[in-house]
Amino acid sequence: MKIQDTSNQRKYLILDQLYALQRLGIKPGLERTLSLLQSGGNPHVKYPSVHVAGTNGKGAVCCAVASVLSEAGYRAGLYTSPHILDFNERIRINGEKIPDDDIVRLADYFMPHSEQIGATFFEITTAMAFKYFAESDVDIAILETGMGGRFDSTNVAAPLVSVITPVSIDHTEYLGSKLDEIANEKAGIIKPCVDVVLAQNPDVVSGIIRQRADKSDSKILLPDDFVRIENIRYNSDFTTEADIIFSGEKIANALYPLSGRHQVQNLQTALTALQSIRGQFEFSNDNIRSGIANIKKNTGYSSRTELIRSGPPVILDVGHNPAAIQSAIDTLAIHGHGKVKWRIVFGAMNDKNVGAILHLLQPICSELIAARPNTQRAMATGRIAELAGLAGIINILETDNAGSAITLAFDKSVPTLIIGSFYMAEQAYGFVNQSCR
């Protein structure tokens, strides 16, 4: 049934219908995605793509690739998830979010068929992205897997290059509880005779990726063999500067507005992916320089150990598994904040290893504000407080919701770290935007 109302109202009614499908959870298999795409004229085969899987760093790699190609003059589609403030963030072309009217139109287009086949939220969203990119005549699409790899809806694409970022334990209820099981799922994006860029990973992960690549006659590309990043300066404002050696030439004093050693590794991975497709897509070193400098403007990338207020600092990070939390802690230290004790506003989903996360945060925590993000999947604050006590955190407050926790944090003139979930970032940005009006 079509919704007759203003564009904005129609959008949110449509999104309510889509979000309601999240209760269906995640269903293995690509048949529903392929059925949706067939009903839409198979848009996913009408342009080349770069496909990125992994546990951490997928978004940064996708955004760096898309930003450089945008600076080189290409129409670069970018599909990432989840969003922070607005669904439109998931689907972009050269940084421009999909318009509301197109969300409504494409959802209206796919929803009748999706109801017949029982498609999930992510399957419909992926079909919408693929069709929007085809209609918009993109030159290339950069695709981030939603969670796994083998059965991820994006895995219907035929990429020019596949990328595996660092793999660690996460989403155990869907991907398995052991690193080798998770690595096997991520390796499912590898296609016959298509290069595989493999970021630095534990030996068990690298071994599985290499075996799968060998069976597929796919060449493994290691970032250390193609890109060197030297003379790295980690600035106190959480930006980074460095010299980049790419294709034998130096890009001196390149500004990278992201923070941490892991982001330098993500940049190295992205540039290696770009090297792999350079025969089909040309770009210059100036495009690399401007592409990484403008990554936030060109893609909307945010919320990874990001300074959202200074004096005293308020840091926002969407890390939600132990590996990402450790990267955030290391990043605080190398950017000159290693001796700071933080008031930590923390909320997380029930399926996360919150005990391990809080053990990691304990040494830098002066006070923990336990919050419950606005979603049914969120962990109760009482359970967070219990796990925090077991982790050795002494000063613990509980709040009714993430919004009140963040309001409390901004009212205090002490260094504050907001971390644990994309939902926490949504609340934080909402508060900042409201405060700036």
Assigned domain for 1 exists? no
Domain of 427 in residue numbering reads as 306-435
Looking at the fold, whether 281 and 378 belong to one and the same domain comes out as no
Tell whether 255 and 363 lie within a shared domain. no
Please check whether residues 267 and 380 belong to one and the same domain. Answer: no
pLDDT, position 427: 80
- Same domain, yes or no, for 213 and 293? yes
pLDDT at 425: 85
pLDDT at 435: 53
Residues 96 and 53 in one domain: yes
In a domain, 164, yes or no: yes
Does residue 363 share a domain with residue 286? no
Q: Which residues of the chain have pLDDT under 70?
A: 1-7, 22-26, 169-177, 430-437
CATH assignment at residue 401 = 3.90.190.20
Residue 347 lies in a domain: yes
**Residues 319 and 287 occupy one common structural domain:** no
Spell out the SS3 assignment of the chain: CCCCCCHHHHHHHHHHHHHHHHHHCCCCCCHHHHHHHHHCCCHHHCCCEEEEECCCCHHHHHHHHHHHHHHCCCCEEEECCCCCCCHHHHEEECCEECCHHHHHHHHHHHHHHHHHHCCCHHHHHHHHHHHHHHHCCCCEEEEECCCCCCCCHHHHCCCCEEEECCCCCCCHHHHCCCHHHHHHHHHHHCCCCCEEEECCCCHHHHHHHHHHHHHCCCCEECHHHCEEEEEEEECCCCCEEEEEEECCEEEEEEEECCCCHHHHHHHHHHHHHHHHCCCCCCCCHHHHHHHHHCHHHHHCCCCCCEEEECCCCEEEECCCCHHHHHHHHHHHHHHHHCCCCEEEEECCECCCCHHHHHHHHHHHEEEEEECCCCCCCECCHHHHHHHHHHCCCCCEEECCCHHHHHHHHHHCCCCEEEECCHHHHHHHHHHHHHHCC
Do 108 and 136 have their domain in common? yes
Domain boundary among the residues 272, 299, 326 is at: 299
Residue 140 included in any domain: yes
225 in any annotated domain: yes
Domain count, the chain: 2
pTM assigned to the model: 0.93
Q: Examine residue 2 and state whether it is found in any structural domain, yes or no.
A: no
User: Where among 282, 299, 316 does a domain terminate?
Assistant: 299
Domain boundary among 264, 299, 334: 299
For residues 104 and 19, membership in a common domain is answered with yes
Assigned domain for 229 exists: yes
**Statement to judge: residues 368 and 426 lie in one domain:** yes
Residue 124 maps to which CATH number? 3.40.1190.10
Residue 11 within a domain: yes
Residues 318 and 254 in one domain: no
| Residues 232 and 375 both lie in one domain | no
